[in-house]
Amino acid sequence: MKKIVALTGVFALAACGGNDASEPTEAVIDDTPETAVVSDAGTYSSLNEDGDVIAISLNADGTYTVSEANQQVENGTWEDTPEGACWTAEGEEEPVCATFAPGTEPGTVNVTSPGGETMTYSYES
């Protein structure tokens, strides 16, 4: 939401050096919360600490699967929210949300868990 704030002529004069003090100046302040980078349907893969491939497949129908070392270890539903991409595992009530940000290498994204751990994943659409 953008708020319009009327500044008094004194502040305008001090900031701009010469505006008529009797004329208030308006400034637009954008207090919209930053929106998390949205995730896209596709497969995100990385290596776990043992060197095994971990893959998260976000499907366009709102379902997902997680595989580790070619074994499916989790499935459920996902959605993009203001908090980031949120996964609700089958049988769980509360979602787990992570934020996505562009990676430093082309075709990669950095995924940050709720605990603050960031992993870099390659992305395949």
What pLDDT shows up at residue 40?
83
Contacts of 32-37 with CB under 8 Å at 24 or more apart are 32/1, 32/2, 33/82, 35/82, 36/80, 36/81, 36/82, 36/83, 36/84, 36/85, 36/99, 36/100, 37/99, 37/100, 37/101, 37/102, 37/109
What confidence tens digit (pLDDT) does each residue in 48-68 have? 989 999 999 999 999 999 999
What pLDDT shows up at residue 124?
86
What pLDDT shows up at residue 125?
80
Answering whether pTM is above 0.85, one says no
In this prediction, the residues of the chain whose per-residue pLDDT falls under 70 are 1-38
